[in-house]
Amino acid sequence: MASPAIRPSAACLRFLRLQTMNSPSLVLSSTRSHLRPQLPVTARPTQDLSRCGRTFSTIPARQDWLTPKRPEKRKSMVGRPRMPTGGSMRGTTVVWGDYGLRMRDHDRRVSAKQLRTGEQTIHQRLRGERYKLYKRVSANIGVYTKGNDVRMGKGKGKFDYWAARIPVSRIVFELKGNIHEQVVRDAFRLAGNKLPGLYEFVKKGDPPVVGITKLGKGVTLESLKEAKRPVEPKDKVPEQPVTPPMADGPPQSVSTDFDKPPTTVHVSP
C-alpha cells in the first residue's frame, strides 16, 4: 500500500516564497513542490500606438438605450421636442426592420420605465420567435423633481428618472424577422397600449410624414412648400385711386326714370 504524499509545512512554503521573490530566475510551481528555472521570454515587438487610438477588448461596449453613457453636465429643462419646420422627414420611415411602431397624435416626453415596459411587452408576445428589435429613440433627458409643499426657488430639485422626447410621427420600435404580419401587429398593439399616446403600425416602404401630413396620393414635399394663397411682395407700391376731372360749370342734376312724378293736390271751393 502506497504511503500518502507528504506536503511541505507552512513555514517551508513561506521560505520558498521569499526565496522566489528575491531570486527572479526561480518560479514556484502551483502543482509541484520543487522549483524549476524560469524559461527565457522572447521580446515582443512594441505596438505603434499612433495607429491604434484605443486598446482592443473582446468585451462589447456598454450600450443601454435607457441610460446615457455619461451624466448631464447641466440639468435639462422641461422643453418640447423640436418641430422640423423646413420639411424634414427624418425618423418617420422604417429603415432597418420590416415593420415599425410610429407615434401619431403629438409630441410628448416618455419615461425610460414606460419604454422598457413596451419593449418587454413585445418580447413577451413574440416569445419563441426569431426576430430582432431595433430601438429608434433613447432616454437621454433627465427629469428632476422636488417634494410637496416646497417653496419656490432653491434649484430644480434632485434627479428622478430618465426620459426621451419623442416628436410627432417618429418611429419608436422596428422589428425584423420571419414572422407573420398579423402577429407583429398584435405585438405592437399591446406595446402601444402600454405607452402614452396614440401609435400606428407602419411597414417598410410606406411614404414618409412631414409633420402630421403623409406624403403620397398627389401630396409631395414641393406642393406642401407652395403658398396656399398669393403673397404680395413687400416692396409693392399701393395704387392711387383715379378721380374723374371736375367740370367748370355748376353741377346739374340729372333726372332718371326712378324719380317719383310730382303729386297734385285738389282743393274743393
Dump pLDDT digits (tens) for 164-190: 999 999 999 999 999 999 999 999 999
Dump pLDDT digits (tens) for 242-267: 777 766 666 666 556 555 666 776 66
Residue 89 carries which DSSP code? -
99-211 placed in CATH 3.40.50.2030? no
Q: In angstroms, rounded to a whole number, what is the distance separating the alpha carbons of residues 209 and 202?
A: 11
Domain regions of the chain by residue span: 99-211
Q: In angstroms, rounded to a whole number, what is the distance separating the alpha carbons of residues 73 and 98?
A: 37
Strand partners, 165: 109
Dump pLDDT digits (tens) for 210-234: 888 888 888 888 888 887 787 778 7
Residue 105 is placed in which grid cell? 397624435
Q: In angstroms, rounded to a whole number, what is the distance separating the alpha carbons of residues 48 and 228?
A: 63
Q: Which of 151, 188, 150 is nearest to 171 (CA)?
A: 188
Residue 233 is placed in which grid cell? 411682395
pTM value surpassing 0.85 = no
Dump pLDDT digits (tens) for 62-86: 568 888 888 888 988 888 887 777 7
Distances, alpha carbon 126 to alpha carbons 129, 137, 236, in Å: 6, 21, 64
